[in-house]
Structure 1
């Protein structure tokens, strides 16, 4: 107990000193992508995502409208024993015409296994690594990426991390109506996103609607198809998935979330099916933070928080990841605006490297629930060690070296003594039965 207390005090002391003493580097310019002559059938912007139990979705783009939508794959280089048939889509945006966007589901796949694959019967060979079936498992976490020099630094650091799944709480490409930037973003992340699954949700920069002309999220929904149908959702903007003892809920800050909405009713149904014996960890991601002591984007998440926080609390969500604020902040376990040992830890990590720069100004004094906050670019690593303990670290981009600046050990709520199983079920049943 004394050793645990000493470690906790050391982390808090380090946290308060590090944020004040760090001299932040200058902004970096947007990345430049030279034009390259490519075959029209060449697969581009390849990325993968989880697609239900033991399955992966492979997505890619070709300029040839006649290119087939299938993936050949196997466990040895150049030897493809299996075939996954897919589908394709495309979209128009004013004068822009997308390439042919392919999505093919492959599987069933063995856990913790390397597969080699080829898209559409041609082009280069790629490889992917499936997540393990049980603990430990590590997630890389970074939101608000964009396409700047700091983005490249963040991606380089994530590439050095031994992780199985990337979690991204919104704001991917920062295309902001300039559709070719979706293409360059796909090219930028392909080296990582073609090897490990990227699980994403939408942010405000994905909302590219033009009234009467273009539906919002058409670019995002066409390119980044997530397992919404596999999780019983009717929208790509919110869904869930399970991997190695963790149930992850991806919510939409920019679609209806009140108690009469489809998203709210889907969330109630999804939470009612969670088996905490099979998935003792429960994580939620969405874009706009509910607990934020930065001056930027104050109170923007209050509406969603009022509607959905009771659901997350009654269900025993362990950790909430958000973006939007271009800085890093970690809270204590919180609920209803104050510290609560039975609430989730909220982590704002909208500091992936976007072109808008850092949100440098914080409220003073800091709220009692805020543990660590710093306006720096970086990424996080969440290692679920076992069913009871997880280790979270945040790595600041310090002169292109990933400097560990914040870390904490977490105990899952189902093992924390917050509720007996009977009381937990009563709390959840009560809120799920509300009209």
Structure 2
């Protein structure tokens, strides 16, 4: 009889399965952590705050002598589909500047003028300089010099004639914006002065989506271990049905290989608060449960957080029925091969960190893979941590989200709200997923749950246990650090065993005589890559700083993991863990 097999892809924009802070847990406090008071650069690195996101702390001056001929035209300009590439053309520019830029704002009536009294609100970001703010965070922005003809004024128009000759010539440029259905009207604003000293020159008319209530961004997850076993049954999720209006769900059918849809969960987003239905298989249906969250639910302190204030965007209604571009493209190819059973994205999910419209863009980005196979997640610091919110680490990494958007968009088989730990079995592998952002100290609720869960594993059925350094764990997966690194069988910084080579030169760890777990850092799938230190520890066997993802395959006798370069599709590192007999 063929042994039970399972393959999976660990999907990581920046993966975080086990995040261990090198400090003691600070007590709960509403004061800002000194790390963020003293270092803007550190804040930008760990909360993904870019120069563009600092727009909200920039002085908005009045543009001197704006051109009376300025105009912004958008094509198409109405009834947008769920995904569009909008051409934004700026005309009537007298003196093109390399510091001219266009922002997309949502909703269209957002106030992007000056809010001088809000300057005190954002000290938590680490920017303590005296800078009044833009009142609302733009969704996207692009410099006009992305059009190579703009600065050279190759597209000229005569706006005024004198004695039969052109007296006033203006310039124009065109940009293309990728837009998805975010349920609200959008508009475009032309600024001058760069991101540092912006001033408004012109604003377009509002543009609306054709169907802001349409169900979108469906993604599948397992409700329990019975929903992860894969067989030859193929189900087609053909459409979503509202009690009042039929909605076409997607441009094409979503095919999923699952045991039973009743043991899987489908989650999607729409602008409709009424329950909807998913149709699958032979005319079977399931009615959705509808959830959402409000601005008042976001975490904050004395100074409002991004999620509570300038980063807020209406999330729509999330329905539930019982990532970098190169990485998602490479993973989509893996899923298309029909050899992948599930995806694990463990922590640092969207990096929205309080700028909530970015959840929509993330859900759209992962839909080619998350709508096809089970997409399992775990919470990380960029989803949960905020001062005074009950998180283990008193930092502002979530931007005030404090886990609410994450748990709403990605309902996992957890014991309760804000207890985002769970376990699930896939063929011969038992996965135990913890929350590093909640208390997991000795005798804590989570620690007791972990011990009980791991003690209950039947190693004759699931010989492989993937998680962290408790009793007889085979493989430990870390994230947070943005690169790839693999160790020997290590415990307390000491190699207890080293791998041997097979005939193909691949490292083999023999766990027939268990000594310690293998550790792997796999946080290399989207955010800026980290450099390795100059001093290499003796337990570190492989170090690679390239974008990619980890691909795993398991039988009862062998667990294999490969690091795949998402640009070249080349396997950069590979290792196997073997057992001659299942552990008891």
> Which residue number corresponds to residue 388 of structure 1?
557
Task: Give the deviation of 1:235 after TM superposition.
Answer: 4.5
Does residue 257 (structure 1) correspond to residue 440 (structure 2)? The answer is yes
Does residue 60 (structure 1) correspond to residue 268 (structure 2)? The answer is yes
Native 8 Å contact 1:281 1:387 kept in 2? yes
> Which residue number corresponds to residue 194 of structure 2?
none
Task: Give the deviation of 1:156 after TM superposition.
Answer: 4.2
Aligned counterparts, 1:173-322, within 5 A: 173-207=350-384, 209=386, 216-229=402-415, 235-284=418-467, 309=469, 312=470, 314=471, 316-322=472-478
Q: TM-score, normalised on structure 2?
A: 0.49
> Which residue number corresponds to residue 90 of structure 1?
292
Output one character per residue of 1:30-74: Cα deviation in whole Å (capped at 9) or x when no partner. 9964144252342212111111123111111111112x2432221
Native 8 Å contact 1:169 1:321 kept in 2? no
Output one character per residue of 1:296-333: Cα deviation in whole Å (capped at 9) or x when no partner. xxxxxxxxxxxx73xx2x2x211111211110011122
Aligned counterparts, 1:278-427, within 5 A: 278-284=461-467, 309=469, 312=470, 314=471, 316-341=472-497, 342-354=515-527, 357-364=528-535, 366-384=536-554, 386-397=555-566, 400-412=567-579, 415=582, 421=584
Structure 2: 5+ residue runs without aligned partners? 1-51, 53-139, 142-176, 182-208, 228-262, 296-307, 390-398, 498-514
Task: Give the deviation of 1:150 after TM superposition.
Answer: 4.0
Distance 1:412 1:216, change over 3 A: farther
Structure 1: 5+ residue runs without aligned partners? 1-28, 106-144, 285-307, 422-435
Distance 1:187 1:215, change over 3 A: closer
Q: TM-score, normalised on structure 1?
A: 0.65
SS in 2 for 1:402: coil
Native 8 Å contact 1:89 1:101 kept in 2? yes
SS in 1 for 2:406: helix
Native 8 Å contact 2:217 2:367 kept in 1? yes
Q: Matches of 1:160 and 1:338 in 2, distance apart?
A: 41
Native 8 Å contact 1:225 1:236 kept in 2? no
Native 8 Å contact 1:69 1:103 kept in 2? no
Output one character per residue of 1:215-241: Cα deviation in whole Å (capped at 9) or x when no partner. 611111111111113xxx664521100
Native 8 Å contact 2:551 2:563 kept in 1? yes
Task: Give the deviation of 1:211 after TM superposition.
Answer: 5.3
Native 8 Å contact 1:90 1:101 kept in 2? yes
**Length, aligned pairs only:** 306
Task: Give the deviation of 1:390 after TM superposition.
Answer: 2.1
Task: Give the deviation of 1:263 after TM superposition.
Answer: 0.8
Native 8 Å contact 1:171 1:202 kept in 2? yes
Identify the match of residue 179 of structure 2 among 31, 34, 37.
Answer: 34
Distance 1:38 1:283, change over 3 A: farther
Output one character per residue of 1:232-271: Cα deviation in whole Å (capped at 9) or x when no partner. x664521100121211011111111101321101111111
Distance 1:404 1:222, change over 3 A: same
Native 8 Å contact 1:221 1:236 kept in 2? no
Task: Give the deviation of 1:343 after TM superposition.
Answer: 1.5
Q: Matches of 2:531 and 2:369 in 1, distance apart?
A: 29
- Give the root-mean-square deviation of aligned CA atoms: 2.6
Output one character per residue of 1:97-141: Cα deviation in whole Å (capped at 9) or x when no partner. 221111111xxxxxxxxxxxxxxxxxxxxxxxxxxxxxxxxxxxx
